[in-house]
Amino acid sequence: MIALRRPASRLPVRLLAAAVAASALSACAYNEALGRNQLLLVDNAALAQQSNAAWREAISKPGVQTSGAQVDRIRRVGNRLVQAAGLGGRSWDYAVFSEKSPNAFVLPSGQIGVTDSLLALVQNDDQLATVIGHEIGHVVANHAAERASSQAATSIGLAAVGGAAGRYGDAVNAYGGLAAQYGLLLPYSRRDELEADRLGVDYMQAAGFRPSQAVALWRLMAAQRQASIPQFASTHPSDATRIDLLQQYIAGKGWS
């Protein structure tokens, strides 16, 4: 973590706090997709350079597929979802990573990685759409930018986020050090994950996929886990919570 230096002008702490608060207040933006305000000192565009560098590093690793039948599959599903999310005006890149854990990730500049074990787990394209739609939801929700802004507002800065990322060794080893250095692989909060779940289901429905398969996918994910981590001990919501909330949301919309 970067040590904070006392300003040369030795401004009173209260004055500094007021300045930070004023900056944060002026950076509040309403996200219509989420129905709430966000602190955005930086946005997805500001993270693009770091994201693109992290992606280039990630796909340079041995065994990563950027073409072929599996990549074509996730691109086909992904392109339908990005159109539904209103993000079709930008280019998206996809890759398949070799990893034992069913997983996926997204970078703010428009890249999605999916593990081969996840592709082996899903039973149909609707379940694959659940995962990709969820990742696209993180981008629409500005979750990475919101997290970076919160770090900046507390004077920690983007570079220091890499220290926390070091706890997630598997992700760093699989996808590259730059993504961790810039905080792009840090786990999202429970709130962020549930927001991405909801947005992902919206995009599934709009793209012609079956929202009910989101519930089926999370049941599969729950069944394959060797050990269940209690929700209070994890940054992610429990599988049971996700399944219950997804069922309620889909039923409330009258979708199947």
Give the residue numbers annotated as catalytic, written as ranges. Answer: 135
Number of neighbouring beta carbons within 10 Å of residue 59: 19
Q: What is the Cα–Cα distance from 189 to 230, expressed in whole angstroms?
A: 15
Q: What is the Cα–Cα distance from 142 to 47, expressed in whole angstroms?
A: 11
Q: What is the Cα–Cα distance from 131 to 140, expressed in whole angstroms?
A: 15
Q: What is the Cα–Cα distance from 56 to 1, expressed in whole angstroms?
A: 26
Token couple for 87: 């993000």
Find the radius of gyration of the CA atoms of the chain.
19
Contact (CB, 8 A) for 162 and 187? no
Nearest to 192 by CA among 154, 135, 232: 135
Beta bridge partners, 65, equal: 96
Question: At 27, which amino acid appears?
Answer: A
Beta bridge partners, 93, equal: 111
